[in-house]
Amino acid sequence: MEATPSLACANKCVFCWRHHTNPVGKSWQWKMDDPLMIVNTAIEEHKKMIKQMKGVPGVTAERLSEGLLPRHCALSLVGEPIMYPEINSLVDELHKRRISTFLVTNAQFPDKIVSLNPITQLYVSVDAATKENMKAIDRPLFGDFWERFIDSLKALRDKQQRTVYRLTLVKGWNTEDIDAYSSFFSIGNPDFVEIKGVTYCGT
């Protein structure tokens, strides 16, 4: 299951698939839904989507039944999930239901990383290897975005759980500076490095 508790973000990344229709901000300033309602609704919407596969050639009854009971939840659909004020309650609710959590944060809220309850797998986006490239590709709202990024990597190191650097690479934007990327590994000491290429699919 893929879901998000926040449509808002503190960056306006050039590769964002939402074409910047979602809100941006440095802090939470929107109506907030209850975490229990978000989890219940996400599961119901997930079930509706899976049920549409009934009768599709190749879909077995066993797999359909399995798909109706999500065991994993990626909190990364759009926006910055860690901005949601009740993110810990939401994560706890998923874990109570034996649903693992994979949360992706854009490394602009180090204090939220510090206060975040344990996630099954915590990702930090590493979208550029230099301050100049990060400003150009992420187009952050925060003036101290680079310091926040470095502090987020340090916070990741201290989490003592499964952690990942997610490198979203865009040809012509951030695929150089290999040595600079590697210098970040000692700061956050991630368990994994995920390299994801952006593919342009047209407007």
50-84 per-position pLDDT tens digit: 999 999 999 999 999 999 999 999 998 788 999 99
**Under 8 Å between Cβ of 116 and 109:** no
38 within some domain: no
Average pLDDT, the chain: 92
Amino acid at 188: G
Least confident of 82-96, 142-156, 178-192: 178-192
Tokens (6 digits) for 111: 């204090």
At residue 106, what is the residue type? N
- Per-residue pLDDT averaged across 185-203, rounded? 87
Q: Is the pLDDT of residue 94 over 80?
A: yes
Q: What's the pLDDT score for residue 78?
A: 82
What is the per-residue pLDDT across 164-189, written as a single tens digit (0 to 9) for each? 999 988 888 888 888 888 889 999 99
The pLDDT value recorded for residue 17 is: 72
CA gap 37, 16 in Å, rounded: 27
Residue 37 lies in a domain: no
| Residue among 68, 120, 112 at smallest CA distance from 95 | 120
What total of structural domains would you count in the chain?
Answer: 1
CA atoms within 13 A on the CB side of 200: 6
For residue 30, tell me if it sits in a domain: no
Place of tokens 């901005």: 83
Q: What is the CATH number of the domain that holds 165?
A: 3.20.20.70
Asked whether residue 145 carries a pLDDT value surpassing 90, the answer given is: yes
| Sign of the four-CA dihedral 16, 184, 121, 27 | negative
Classify residue 108: in a domain, yes or no. yes
95 found inside a domain = yes
When pLDDT is averaged across residues 88-114 and rounded to a whole number, the result is 96
Q: Which of 195, 139, 197 is nearest to 172 (CA)?
A: 197
Q: What pTM did the predictor assign?
A: 0.89
Q: pLDDT tier at 203 (50, 70, 90 boundaries)?
A: low
| pLDDT band at residue 118 under the 50/70/90 scheme | very high
In-domain check, residue 122: yes
pLDDT digits (tens, 9 = 90+) for 3-35: 999 988 999 988 887 666 778 899 999 899 999
Percent of the chain with pLDDT over 90: 73
* Predicted local distance difference test score (pLDDT) of residue 79: 87
**Residue 133, domain member (yes or no):** yes
How buried is residue 187: exposed, middle or buried, by Cβ count under 10 Å (0-12/13-18/19+)? middle
What is the mean predicted confidence (pLDDT) over 113-135? 94
The residues near 124 (Cβ < 8 Å, ≥ 6 apart) are: 104, 105, 106, 107, 113, 152, 153, 156, 163, 164, 165, 166, 188, 190
Structural domain boundaries, residue 164? 7-15+71-197
Query: Rounded to whole angstroms, how far apart are CA atoms 47 and 40?
Result: 11
> DSSP string spanning 118-172?
P-SEEEEE---SSHHHHHHHH--S-TTHHHHHHHHHHHHHTT-S-EEEEEEE-TT
Instruction: Give me the pLDDT at residue 179, please.
Output: 84
Percent of the chain with pLDDT over 70: 98
